[in-house]
Amino acid sequence: MSTNFPDMPNDSAACCKLVRSAIEKRLITANFGDDPMRFLPDSAFSEVADHQIIDQILMSTVLETEVRSSTVGKLMNGGKRIFATCIWGSLPPLMLRDILANVGDRLDKALPLAPGSFPASFPQENVQNFINAQWFFLAPQFIEGKFTNLLSEETQIPIQYSTGDSLGKGAEAEVFNAEIMGDQQIPGFTKSFALKMINNPREENGEHITLEKFSGTTVLQHLNIASIHSGFQFKGKLYLIAERADSGSLETYMENNRSGAQSLLKGQGKEWLSQQMRGLAAALTKIHTGVPGFSITHHDIKPDNILVHSQPDVMFKITDWGCSSVEKYIPKLIEFRKEIDDAESGDFCRPDEPGILLDVVTRSLSKLETSKNENWRSEVRVIRDMLATDPRTRISAAAAADKLG
């Protein structure tokens, strides 16, 4: 007797109907923005693809006992998606054997099948039913460190988000509150996250290219770099699955805390601010030098691209790799003195060179650690001006050092 189908009928057609009903009950519905999605979660395949019921369904065919047993074994060991697709698409049970013969040892790994994947002898109606049905059983499982997965437009994405639940919007991207549905989430990762949608991802040196370079390194594990777990491309857009900042960006955080140091720092003090700036500087050094054989530059360090996490402790984290670049060499780090000399000669300092942040900011912030002046927001403004993206408004290294003392 089947454990999943204790009232399994003897009739093959009735068994197929029973399996379709079981699938219907277990399908999960999600709204991926404006696109409705429907899929069977991975955990449900063992419930609908039961050994006894598969055998009972194949009993009505002309298959010999040995062939039937072999077919059941293949379906149970790597072909459960094919079984579910055939039953959901109302295909004749005998086609299970024919499809398995066609895909060979790849079994479910051969999916999705295209029209050309079927022999010409297959009835076209059955072929089309299979092609349409298979997408309900191919919802992707997101993989940590994988950012270039190109999904078909028919893919049923197991993510729920609303276009009205935005966390922030830029010229080419928008970030939403989102949730992974079913059991498709990254192992060890919570279901709720921030989903970044990039409208026109660059083909070369795009955000996903930079993140792929980080994969396999410890760059994204740095405490002051926001975790981005996975990503995919869908309908011409790039989507990134990232940790959600409960306090938004540093720009928003500062705007929402205008009442002074006690409110902004929540009692943590100037030493904490100095530690955060040192952490950001160390994070940039990690970004520049953390991928062997490559030099990666962020190119867009500004308060809007620094996230504020308040749990368990308030912490600043660098995010947004939309302007980043990847070069196949590691340049020699510019010495602090040379950057000061360049700045004094009229050149503007690049906002994300490790020398300028690690030396100018952290050395100059010693004033914040020892100053008795509680009105320290002017020092924060100096740091923000030094990190300005537009070189016309960015203050030089020398000017920053002078202002901060």
List, in order, residues 6 or more apart from 188 with CB less than 8 Å away. Answer: none
Per the structure block, which two tokens stand in for 273?
Answer: 């601010």
Q: How far is CA 391 from CA 42, 62, 251, 285, 351, in A?
A: 51, 77, 19, 21, 9
Q: How far is CA 140 from CA 31, 47, 48, in A?
A: 15, 19, 19
- DSSP one-letter code for 361: I
239 pairs with which residues across the strands?
197, 232
Does residue 262 have a pLDDT over 60?
no
Higher pLDDT, 30 or 350: 30
- Under 8 Å between Cβ of 349 and 326: no
| Amino acid type, 108 | D
Does residue 70 have a pLDDT over 70?
yes
Does residue 349 have a pLDDT over 60?
no
Superfamily of the domain at 149-242 = Phosphorylase Kinase; domain 1 (3.30.200.20)
Does residue 377 have a pLDDT over 60?
no
Average pLDDT over residues 103-120: 92
The residues spanned by each domain of the chain are 12-137, 149-242, 250-404
Average pLDDT over residues 53-61: 88
Average pLDDT over residues 129-151: 91
Q: Give the range among 135-149, 268-282, 330-344 with minimum mean pLDDT.
A: 330-344
Give per-residue pLDDT as tens, 390-404.
556 666 655 665 665
Cis peptide before 292 (omega within 30 of 0): no
Per the structure block, which two tokens stand in for 276?
Answer: 């955060």
Specify the CATH number of the domain 250-404: 1.10.510
Query: C-alpha dihedral over 19, 20, 25, 26, to 10 degrees?
Result: 70
Identify the pLDDT of residue 383. Answer: 62
Give per-residue pLDDT as tens, 195-225.
999 987 766 657 888 998 998 899 999 999 9
Give the whole-angstrom CA distance, residue 93 versus residue 83: 9
Percent of the chain clearing pLDDT 70 (strictly above): 74
Does residue 88 have a pLDDT over 50?
yes
Give the count of beta carbons closer than 10 Å to the beta carbon of residue 293: 8
pTM of the complete model beyond 0.85? no
Identify the pLDDT of residue 357. Answer: 43
- pLDDT tier at 273, thresholds 50, 70, 90: confident
Q: Where are the alpha helices (DSSP H) in 40-123?
A: 45-48, 51-58, 65-76, 80-88, 94-103
Give the whole-angstrom CA distance, residue 119 versus residue 106: 17
Q: Backbone phi, then psi, for 396, in 5-degree steps?
A: -75, 165
Identify the pLDDT of residue 85. Answer: 97
Percent of the chain clearing pLDDT 90 (strictly above): 36
Per the structure block, which two tokens stand in for 350?
Answer: 């690049």
Residue with tokens 């996490």: 309
Residue 50 CB burial class (10 angstroms; 0-12, 13-18, ≥19): buried
Higher pLDDT, 255 or 49: 49
Higher pLDDT, 180 or 302: 180
- pLDDT tier at 405, thresholds 50, 70, 90: low
Give per-residue pLDDT as tens, 232-246.
999 999 999 998 888
Identify the pLDDT of residue 77. Answer: 95
Identify the pLDDT of residue 178. Answer: 94
Identify the pLDDT of residue 339. Answer: 38
Average pLDDT of the chain is 79
Identify the pLDDT of residue 384. Answer: 62
> At CA 373, angle to CA 368 and CA 375, rounded to 5?
90
Higher pLDDT, 188 or 26: 26
Higher pLDDT, 260 or 271: 271
